[in-house]
Amino acid sequence: MSRNLAIVQRQKVRVSLALCAAILAACAHTARTPSMERTAPLVARVQAEGMLFEVLYTEPDHVEVARIGSGLLAAGARLSRWGTFRQGVWVRVYPDHDALEAALDRHGYPWLRAWAFGDQVLLQSPRSWSSAGSAVAGQELSELLTHELTHSLMYQLMEPLKSFGPDALLEEPPLWFREGMASVTANQGHGRLSGEALSRWLTVHPGADILHPDVELVRTEKEAVYGAAHRAFELLLRVSGDQAIRDLLRGVRDGARFADAFKAATGHGLPDFERDAIRSRFALAPPAATHGAGGP
Ligand SMILES: [Zn+2]
């Protein structure tokens, strides 16, 4: 999941941070320690070339920090295909799912484990991912961190070089692009719906705009939404390649609208690509079949 850098959402970040502090304090109060000093979050710094992460956590998650740190370093290698971070990223570890939802002021997303902004990732402690309390597989944590950090990196690479004023609004890329880029970078295809399964879903839900889902569709049809995002981004890479993605993000950073940067970088109009992706069930047909109806 991700959130853009628009001004409204910058305000949201501040709200989230305030809530975060309150939640961390509340958590520490229930952690069998009356000491006020223990209410402050602990910080671990994870650093490698071109990457700086600060992990903020509370005492019960002390045991998770090493694993999170390893996951962050592993994520860095995968992210390098798109570019390098321009600033550090905070990773705020919440003790359980309720604390994460409260910090985001979003409720009813039992599957949500993290949320990303350009400069921070909010993470539900892996300790609490399983209802049985068993340790979550390292691969799952590594995939999630790579996914979330891809969002952060994307936002950082899109952010204009010159500072922008309080009225500046950065355009949010379509959900399929954001989530597809993160899912593909994190190699999460093994858990996503196949093109065939998505084709069946689309047949059963003819009116659903799966590439531009509303909030309710994301909440209730997560598998289809993330599956379509993954397959659409895979398709984009097949027809345009990695360099086009880097060029696209640079185009937005230089001031182009997303759709214009998309066309310049990939050679495809954004609405055309999206329409063809759906029509071909994410296996783009040859141009003659795709565009033949109106062609010469
Ligand atoms: Zn995401």
7-21, 37-51, 64-78, 107-121: segment of lowest average pLDDT: 7-21
Using alpha carbons only, give the angle 232, 235, 239 rounded to the nearest 5 degrees: 140
Q: What is the dihedral of CA 259, 238, 159, 105, to 10 degrees?
A: 90
CA of 178 to the centre of ligand 1 (A): 7
Q: Report d(CA 141, CA 68) in Å as an integer.
A: 8
DSSP-derived secondary structure letter, 94: E
More confident residue, 38 or 172: 172
CATH 3.40.30 in the chain, residue ranges: 7-158
DSSP-derived secondary structure letter, 59: G
Q: Residue 252: in which H helix or E strand, if any?
A: helix 242-253
pLDDT of residue 296: 41
CA of 221 to the centre of ligand 1 (A): 14
CA of 281 to the centre of ligand 1 (A): 22
Residues in contact with 92: Cβ distance below 8 Å, sequence separation at least 6, in sequence order: 20, 41, 56, 57, 103, 120, 121, 122, 123
CB 113 within 8 A of CB 121: no
Output the pTM of the full model: 0.81
More confident residue, 166 or 261: 261
CA of 65 to the centre of ligand 1 (A): 22
* Helix, strand, coil % over all residues of the chain, rounded to 5: 55, 10, 35
CA of 100 to the centre of ligand 1 (A): 15
Q: What is the pLDDT of residues 70-112, one digit of tens each?
A: 999 999 889 999 999 999 999 999 999 999 999 999 888 888 9
Q: What is the pLDDT of residues 206-247, one digit of tens each?
A: 889 999 999 999 999 999 999 999 999 999 999 999 999 999
| Tokens standing for residue 267 | 């050679």
pLDDT of residue 161: 75
DSSP codes of every residue in 123-180: EE-GGGSSTT-PPPPHHHHHHHHHHHHHHHHHHHHHS-SS---TT--PPPPPHHHHHH
CA of 116 to the centre of ligand 1 (A): 7
pLDDT of residue 50: 83
The answer to whether domain 7-158 has CATH 3.30.1490 is: no
